Homo-oligomer: A and B are copies of this chain.
Amino acid sequence: METPNHCQFCAQHPDSAFHGMSREGLEEISQLKTCVSFRKGQVIMHEGARPQGVYCVHKGKIKLYTLGTEGKEQIIRFVTRGDLIGYRSILSDEPISASATALEDTFACYIPKSSFFKVIEDNPKFSLNLLKLSCHELGEAGKMITSLAQKNVKERLAEILLILNTTFGEDEEGYIDINLTREEIANMVGTATESVIRLISELRKEGYIRSKGKRIAVEDRSALRAMASVFE
């Protein structure tokens, strides 16, 4: 079994950008990278900056968010093990469009920009994987745009809870395995914190979910999907 710090570890995941890469290609990346870690709450990348490299997350959870005009966060997406941060900015030669903050202690591999370009050139399979991932994400973003434009707040909250449940899975007690404040959930739904608090209470009373402290568990998944008009 390879050491967990070797890129082959991540390449085993079928959705990984490294999937299907040659041994030589993975070896190349392993030589070029350095290992870094971030404490919970630490900002990894700032919106508007021009990153000098790419992070590949090895362990931990990260939120990608923008700041609106009032300084309010909008969480766009989460990044977990096997995901890359910063490559889009580098490839499109634009400032980075969302900040990244560690939600828990996080370990990542850092690949400098020039090395990243070299890997891209040497490994068409890698860039094709990135293209596939980007295409998938564009589809997801389109869905989110439609939800934000057309669904009411309750439906959107339900949808976000389902997404969180799918993204992070459940802990031993069945709760969504991520530690988020009501404010952070509101920053995904695009609504006021109080509205989220009220609607979580309502969804609980209606039997869709259960909660304990900050933690939330989806109780009736198919009912919640129907209520949120989420189709597969």
Where the two chains meet, the residues of A that have a C-beta atom closer than 8 Å to any C-beta of B are 66, 68-70, 72, 74, 76, 87-89, 91-94, 97-98, 120-121, 124, 127-128, 130-139, 141-146, 148-151, 189-190, 229
Contact = CB atoms under 8 A, between A and B. Distances in A.
25 contacts: A68-B149, A68-B151, A69-B229, A70-B150, A74-B146, A74-B149, A88-B135, A88-B139, A89-B139, A91-B128, A91-B132, A92-B133, A92-B135, A92-B139, A94-B139, A97-B138, A124-B124, A124-B127, A134-B134, A137-B138, A141-B142, A141-B145, A148-B149, A149-B189, A150-B190
Given A74-B150, A92-B132, 20 more contacts: A68-B150, A68-B151, A69-B151, A74-B145, A76-B145, A88-B138, A88-B139, A91-B131, A91-B132, A94-B139, A97-B142, A97-B143, A127-B127, A127-B131, A130-B131, A131-B131, A137-B138, A138-B138, A141-B145, A144-B145
Given A92-B139, A124-B127, A128-B120, A66 B134 contact: no
Copies of chain A in the complex: 2
A216 B221 CA distance: 46
A142 B94 contact: no
Q: Which of A68, A134, A144 has the most CB of B within 10 A?
A: A134
A70 B128 CA distance: 37
Contacts of A149: 68, 74, 148, 189-190
A228 to B, nearest CB: 10
Interface of A is mostly: helix
A55 to B, nearest CB: 16
Contacts of A92: 132-133, 135-136, 139
Contacts of A87: 135
A150 B66 CA distance: 11
B91 A150 contact: no
A139 B144 CA distance: 14
Nearest to A95: B139
A97 B145 contact: no
Contact of A135 (B134, B145, B146, B150): B134
A137 to B, nearest CB: 6
A139 B97 contact: yes
